[in-house]
Amino acid sequence: MGSGGEGSVRDAADKYRSLLQDELEKNTHWRHGGPPTYDSVNQLFEEGRTKEWPKGSLEETVQNAVKSWEMELSHKTRLKDFRTINPEKFKLIVNGREGLSGEETLKLGSYNALLKSSLPEEFKYYKAEEESFESSHDAFRSAFPRGFAWEVISVYSGPPEIAYKFRHWGFFEGPFKGHAPTGEMAQFYGLGILKVDESLRVEEAEIYYDPAELFGGLLKGPPIAAPSSHACPFSH
């Protein structure tokens, strides 16, 4: 889903997304005018990760590659500017559904692409087909103001078919779809398979996870009262 981190546009050095530094001189089209910064979510990641992989290890390489892919998907507007995937061949398959092309994934955005599924009936309040790229990102930015961190838990096989387990987490500290924040951690685990070419560009990405794990945490918050009754304490 991605280690979401929005911020001001400035020098883009990032130790987990090194290709950001290379992008400064390029004619890349950015969704928000320039490359993003990830200071807040990087801090969340460093404070909450359960594994610290050795520099140059396969696990660190996979972790940084996925973070870079999520950055491109969330912040670039043209597929031809992507460097982490093979645009002609790319397919995203989530929980065994029909694969999405690169253009389809870019149009939907990472959250909608991952949540566009047959969710259990009690979670139907999030309807990916009714959310735009921006509205979906706004909803999760609101719920997780410090970002939504992502780490590799283990890697089972190396290129050309990389299989790995991941963890995604954040602190539910802002309102989400009419639910008040609880301040608690919301997290889920999943499995991924990346088929890559000789340049390590992704040609096919398969993701498997249980959306109920994520939404269970977000539904714990009580419904927010109508503004007329009293001022909402969460709208800083």
The per-residue pLDDT for range 99-126, each reduced to its tens digit, is 999 999 999 988 888 887 666 666 556 7
> How is residue 54 annotated by DSSP?
P
User: What stretches in the chain show pLDDT beneath 50?
Assistant: 6-12, 228-231, 233-236
Output the pLDDT for position 216: 87
Q: DSSP per residue over 158-219, as a string?
A: -TTEEEEEEEEEEE--S-BTTBPP---EEEEEEEEEEEE-TT--EEEEEEEE-HHHHHHHHT
Output the pLDDT for position 6: 45
Output the pLDDT for position 121: 63
| Best CA proximity match to 193, nearest among 91, 105, 109, 53 | 91
pTM of the model: 0.86
Instruction: Tell whether the torsion through CA atoms of 144, 190, 2 and 131 is positive or negative.
Output: negative
Average pLDDT, the chain: 86
